[in-house]
Amino acid sequence: MGSARGRGRGRRADRRPPGRPGADEAAIAAAEERLGRRLPPSYREFLAVSDGWRVDQTAGVYRLGGAADIGWFQDPYDMTPLYEQNLDDNPRQEDVLLAGMWQRALRLETDSDMSYALLDPGDSDQDGEWALYVYKGWGGERPDRYPSFRAYMEAMYRGFHSARAERPDFVNATTRAQDAQVEQARLLALRGRYEKALPLLEEALAFGRPQSAVLLNQLRHLLASPGSQGYGDLVADPRYLPEILPVEAMGRRAAHGGWAGPTRTATGSG
């Protein structure tokens, strides 16, 4: 369980490396023997690279333990009955898995604020990966589910960048690649290749990259059925007149037999 001491430490800037030296194969094998289970592939690979991790971008969880720290959760707070009472005569598979998760999950966090990072061997895929659940006890919502430990770490990586996206000094290979992806999506959209532009912008938005949200909203506006969306701040964007208006005007002309009245009205021209 976390504490006020843990919460304060989580808020302060910490310039120490987030990881630790990796565990050797003997240490990982010893943990598996103690637990009675072979660990899932992506978590096993993680321990070999970093035997523990300090988390500074996921609310509630502050540190993931190493091979010697992890252990079975065993539901010390009786969460199982709370979730079992939601199971009806024909429950959804995800609800059944969640109700059973508390008793069989592996607990990863060693420092938190009433929050848990739990790997569930009962919720696994064909590659042997276990789903990871993050439960924020102070919020009361259902746990966030990630299909694997790798997916959880990738989400934290995106969150790390998104939280720092407004800082002008925060530049690295990932931010440069995502910014180039935003520009690529813009050019694809101008060529009418919306289906290729959308996933590029959605990924850039997950990293919090500037302009990705604006461009994504513009594309969704143009692709929506006529009259289904308002213009909002679209016409105030500097790209509207040179890039978006011509595309929308052509669409309006095709839809209305040559009449582009609604588009002219949106720009304040008529």
For residues 102 and 241, the model is more confident at: 102
Would you place residue 156 in the very low, low, confident or very high pLDDT band (cuts 50, 70, 90)? confident
Give dist(CA 218, CA 213) in Å, integer.
9
Residue for token digits 């969150």?
159
Spatial distance between the Cα atoms of 118 and 202, rounded to a whole number of angstroms:
28
Spatial CA neighbour of 27 closest among 52, 47, 53: 47
Domains (range + CATH), the chain: 4-163 (3.40.1580.10), 173-266 (no CATH)
Structural contact between residues 125 and 147, judged by C-beta atoms closer than 8 angstroms: yes
What is the rounded radius of gyration, in angstroms, for the C-alpha atoms of the chain? 24
Identify the pLDDT of residue 216. 86
Model pTM?
A: 0.72
